[in-house]
Amino acid sequence: MTLRTTTLGAIALAAIVLLAFVPRLANPYYLALAISLLQYTVLATAWGMFSGPTRYVSLATTAFFGVGAYTVAVLGEVLPWPVVLVVAASLGAILAAVVGLSTLRLSGVYFVIFTFGLAELVRQLVVWFEVNKSRVLGRYVFVNVTQSDIYWQLLILAIAVFLIGWLVARSRLGFALRIIGEDETVATHCGINTTIAKVALFTISATIMTIVGAIMAPRWTYIEPSIAFNAMISFQVLIMALLGGAHRLWGPILGAVPLVILFELLSARFPNTFTIILGCIFLLIVYLLPRGVAGLLESGKARWGETFKPRAVA
């Protein structure tokens, strides 16, 4: 292990220990903000895990998040909490694998449109099922989970996501996905089963998103499809990951933290024009920071290195 890894590991460990005490120290308002921060950090990081290397832009985040939340609404009272989480994760994984197998052959804009449509389709299916079979419009979420519990679960999930991302990046799968992102034709000619590689990572990423939805569900006491499958989640996660920089594992968090705080301030102050402001922010980010904050930091570092490199003696 190098000095750098050890230092980073120590800092991460210290941060985790500090973060674990937030529910003990913060008032309910700040705890709610901390939950939002963790929620979007995990969602954006999971989004970047797949979309960063493959450069496939997915708008399906809310489909998976919603499946997780709805699983809790339906099964929360019936099954023990850990089992509910496992069921939610499995449903998310199955949906992701099916969707992945059928769509990851699509390229570029077709994939974006499909994923957007998917979220809408899943929502309509749930509406149809609830209205025709369950004969309810919404559901009350009766689960004995406190805000602190939600926070701690999200913190554990966040740690798991960074560990998984770190391991994947170092694995053959991660290398395969970087090659696919560069040139899919070369990837297949290098012996990579590109479909399996993409579906595998899409499934990992979507399963994490589903678990976030499940963990978050008890925050609402009443849930209906338009809440659980809110398209805004997909867009916000996309913007956060792009702002931070999806080509790095630690990139999306750099977008999630400032934007969650900004959205929090904006939605409180300008509730009616919030979506317009959101759209403008989105355009600005894509225009000014195509490689995100992570890209900015990297080029800053490169320039720094360039300036202070000892000159070769001729």
Partner 1 sequence: MSGPQHILDVEKLRRAFGGLVAVNDLSFSVASGEVLGLLGPNGSGKTTALNLMSGLLRSDAGAIRLNGHDISGLPAFKIARLGLTRTFQLVRVLDGMDCRDNIRAGIVFNKPQVRAAGIESDITALLDRVGLAGQGNRPAADLTYIDRKRLELARALAAGPQLLLLDEWLAGLNPSELTIGIDLIRSLKDDGITVVLVEHVMAAVRALCDRCVVMSSGRKIAEGATSDVLSNPVVVEAYLGGVAAHA
Binding site for partner 1 (CB under 8 A): 172, 175-176, 178-179, 181-183, 185-194
CB of 4 to partner 1, least distance (A): 18
Cα torsion angle, 184, 185, 186, 187, sign: positive
Spatial separation of the C-alpha atoms in residues 254 and 261, rounded to whole Å: 12
Nearer to partner 1, 147 or 188 (CB): 188
Joined together, the tokens standing for residue 184 give 């899919």
Nearer to partner 1, 283 or 312 (CB): 312
Joined together, the tokens standing for residue 113 give 């449109």
Q: Please give the DSSP secondary-structure letter assigned to residue 264.
A: H
Please, are residues 210 and 84 in contact by the beta-carbon 8 Å criterion? no
Amino acid 305 reads G
CB of 195 to partner 1, least distance (A): 8
CB of 189 to partner 1, least distance (A): 5
Helices 61-75 and 108-129 sit at what angle, rounded to 10 degrees?
20
CB of 205 to partner 1, least distance (A): 21
CB of 182 to partner 1, least distance (A): 4
Nearer to partner 1, 160 or 183 (CB): 183
Nearer to partner 1, 82 or 191 (CB): 191
115: nearest Cα among 176, 36, 47: 47
Q: Please give the DSSP secondary-structure letter assigned to residue 171.
A: S
